[in-house]
Structure 1
């Protein structure tokens, strides 16, 4: 089983608390992206990042000083955001770390695919960014099928907890026949539609990852037992490739 999640925009550097276990698998591609970013003007970079002057200045400094091989932080501990807060990696037990290292994969516009304890440095580059590199018009073209190949899903299954921006960099390239289940966390509208909301969805994704690690989940059918944060599996709105979880007061 492989579990796909998105990164977070906010990152922190903490090379002293816990040492990384390895460098990212696609580091040579990351080095090419770094060269492309360093060749851009500050104005071009800010347009690419779509951010404020303050955030642009911070990331320009990061870009100038970036070292991809030293003073790194494990990816799982580097990202800061709602999803990662609800994962609460700082208080997991060793067996839960081992589970995540074996099953969890973090998708990244800059690094491609990360295992939880791959060493990273703070960066800003979303998968949807229009960065032309090596003849590709954007990062989807740049990465191609590399992310799916590095993922090595084997016979599967693959649990998709990533946003569409990130999952579309992997899912179309998975080998035919690999079981894929996308998890939806939402509320039921009066018209019968299930609607996901940004913040609650991120919380639920992080909580599910934590729950999977605590339960050592290895079969997709076990996901139906997830009931944290008031969510409950909705069998009548789900199918084999799409598990829908609704707030309990909506079921």
Structure 2
């Protein structure tokens, strides 16, 4: 069972980590190619491209010109420990032990606009590049064109190597749509989190993001390998709702 997750816009590169375990990104050559495209953009250009304010544009301009193809513990940090934001606050990887981190590295894939697909212990350098960014590149007009079928092929291969037949989709649509689910030869299960409000159950974005992180941690902590065991998830009041769920959509309500 492999789980996919979206990255976060924000990073916490300076915070100490509890492990020296690390791996190198699979698509470092592709990431380097994208950085070469991004270097062409001035801070003012980046404001429009990334839809950010001048301060963030300047920050990312500096990130691009100082980014190095060689990643190590002096210039990078493990992806799972570097990303911040609601999903990763829910996951709270800081106190995972090395056995749990090793399990995560085998069974969790973080999708990324810059790096394509990351294992949790893959080193990343500071960046901000959302998958939906319309960055012109040698393969097309956006990142979906750039990545093409590379990520689908990678995930398909990982499922085959690990003899897994299930993909757990905890990624947002912006990121999960980079994968052609019809080509990975696996059952895709999407957990959905809903809160009861105004007489009905609704998905609320900020709660959904945190819940995705909570479920990711639940999978890692308990070394979950069977999709049916996801139904035991009961963090922060969520419970599996059999009435609303289907074989491909596990719905958790509170």
Under a length normalisation based on structure 2, what TM-score does the superposition of the two structures give?
0.91
Deviations 1:169-221 (A, max 9, x none): 1144642x3110011011245675x4211211111111111111111100111
Offset of 1:60 from its aligned partner? 1.2
Deviations 1:111-165 (A, max 9, x none): 0000011110010100000111113121111101111222222242000001110
What residue is the counterpart of 2:3 in the other structure?
3
What residue is the counterpart of 1:153 in the other structure?
159
CA contact (8 A) 2:13 2:77 kept: yes
- List runs of 5+ in structure 1 lacking aligned partners: none
The alignment partner of 2:63 has SS state of helix
Deviations 1:18-73 (A, max 9, x none): 43522110111111100011112332211111111111111111112112324110
**Residue 126 (structure 1) aligned with residue 133 (structure 2):** no
Separation of aligned partners in 1, 2:55 and 2:120: 29
**Residue 209 (structure 1) aligned with residue 213 (structure 2):** no
What residue is the counterpart of 1:52 in the other structure?
53
Name the Cα RMSD after superposition: 1.8
What residue is the counterpart of 1:167 in the other structure?
176
- List runs of 5+ in structure 2 lacking aligned partners: none
Under a length normalisation based on structure 1, what TM-score does the superposition of the two structures give?
0.92
CA contact (8 A) 2:191 2:251 kept: yes
**Residue 19 (structure 1) aligned with residue 38 (structure 2):** no
The alignment partner of 1:243 has SS state of strand
What residue is the counterpart of 1:179 in the other structure?
187
